[in-house]
Amino acid sequence: MTMQQIKFYQTGTFTVGNRLLDADQRSVQANMERTNSLNSGHRACQGCGEALGARYAIDAAMRASNNQVIACNATGCLEVFSTPYPETSWQIPWIHSLFGNAAAVATGVAAAMKVKGRKDVRIIAQGGDGGTTDIGFGCLSGMFERNDDVLYICYDNQAYMNTGVQRSSATPPAARTATTMAIGAEPGNAFGQGKNLPLIAMAHGIPYVATASVAYLRDLEAKVSRAMTVRGARYIHILVPCPLGWGAAPHDTIKLARLAVETGLFPLFEAEHGEVTSSTKIRRRVPVEDYLKPQKRFAHLFGKTPAVSTLAHIQETADRNIRKYGLLEKHD
């Protein structure tokens, strides 16, 4: 491993731990020989959570597979910002076909590798929440049901950001988007029943499902690495804040991703064959307001007359998650 002299500094979060670890325990990104699968120079916005998540996820998959990864990308921000030619940022074999078929294309690549006896080559499909929970849902469910040897990664920024911030089925209640305007009696996105893709993936009984966050990058790497030890259909759902779509400062991407976890709105867990096997405990529980307030998409909740009942409704969701996934340490 190539070593780099680094200075110790306090980042205000748990990331400091990485610098104090033995070299072989450090993160993939701390390694100078990391693959930079999604290389620098792409056109993502400042503070893009998706670019960060994809970089960590794919590099971790590369390390876990001895650099034998083929990626199939859905249409969306990740595809667009990474590939204007001749400046492709992908250092790995990569294909983009359509918005709604990444999982099926990956099935095809996996079938080709199987028939050619290339068990060493691992297939990843990836897309945003629109490409995963909406238009690509049929193909994704088919891939799960057949238990095809594909790791599907959803980078969830909770709306169609590439087309200008329209609502998806992953958009949270009350959020303002270009198609759920902050006007009228019930401003923002309606309170539907939601579409929890990790739970739907678990309902298929696939061998591995996990949620991850760009605020917990070691955890994200560990989950990708774990997924790569498993054969069959696997699903990782990563929350990736979008400064543009969420109306947040680019420097708040990590902070918001962490607050989503600490409020209980985005639980971090792993599941195998449909059963939750672990969840990340919340160290410092925070009210949902702390997460919502810095985001302009929720600004209408905090006007002259705060939307008390709406906030209470969102808090209920967070509280339910905390109970459901056992997100708080038990203090007897």
Residue with tokens 């985005």: 266
- Tell me the β-bridge partners of 271: 209, 276
Exposed e or buried b per residue across 286-307, where buried means at least 16 C-beta atoms within 10 angstroms of its C-beta? ebbeebbebbebbbbbeeeeeb
Task: Answer yes or no: are the C-beta atoms of 242 and 161 closer than 8 Å.
Answer: yes
Q: Which of 36, 88, 179, 196 binds other proteins (CB under 8 A)?
A: 88
Determine the number of helices (DSSP H) and then strands (DSSP E) in the chain. Answer: 12, 8
How far is the C-alpha of 18 from the C-alpha of 206, rounded, in Å? 32
Q: Tell me, by CB under 8 A, how many residues bind other proteins.
A: 43
Question: Per CB under 8 A, does 85 bind other proteins?
Answer: yes
Site for other proteins in 16-75 (CB under 8 A): 67-70, 72-73
Q: Which stretch binds other proteins (CB under 8 A): 15-23, 25-33, 81-89, 206-214?
A: 81-89
Q: Which of 15, 39, 83, 196 binds other proteins (CB under 8 A)?
A: 83
Tell me whether residue 5 or residue 40 sits nearer to other proteins (CB atom). Answer: 40
Question: Per CB under 8 A, does 275 bind other proteins?
Answer: no
SS3 content of the chain, % helix, strand, coil (to 5): 40, 15, 45
Site for other proteins in 183-222 (CB under 8 A): none
Q: Which stretch binds other proteins (CB under 8 A): 45-53, 82-90, 286-294, 295-303?
A: 82-90
Task: Answer yes or no: are the C-beta atoms of 216 and 15 closer than 8 Å.
Answer: no
Q: From the CB of residue 317, how many other CB atoms can be counted at a distance below 10 Å? A: 17
Tell me whether residue 90 or residue 291 sits nearer to other proteins (CB atom). Answer: 90
Site for other proteins in 122-181 (CB under 8 A): 138-139, 141-142, 145-146
Q: Which of 18, 36, 97, 317 binds other proteins (CB under 8 A)?
A: 97
* Least distance in angstroms from the C-beta of 143 to other proteins: 8
3 state SS of 35: coil
How far is the C-alpha of 38 from the C-alpha of 55, rounded, in Å? 5
Q: Which stretch binds other proteins (CB under 8 A): 23-31, 52-60, 101-109, 163-171?
A: 101-109
What are the residues binding other proteins (CB under 8 A)? 67-70, 72-73, 79-80, 83-85, 88, 90-98, 100-101, 104-116, 121, 138-139, 141-142, 145-146
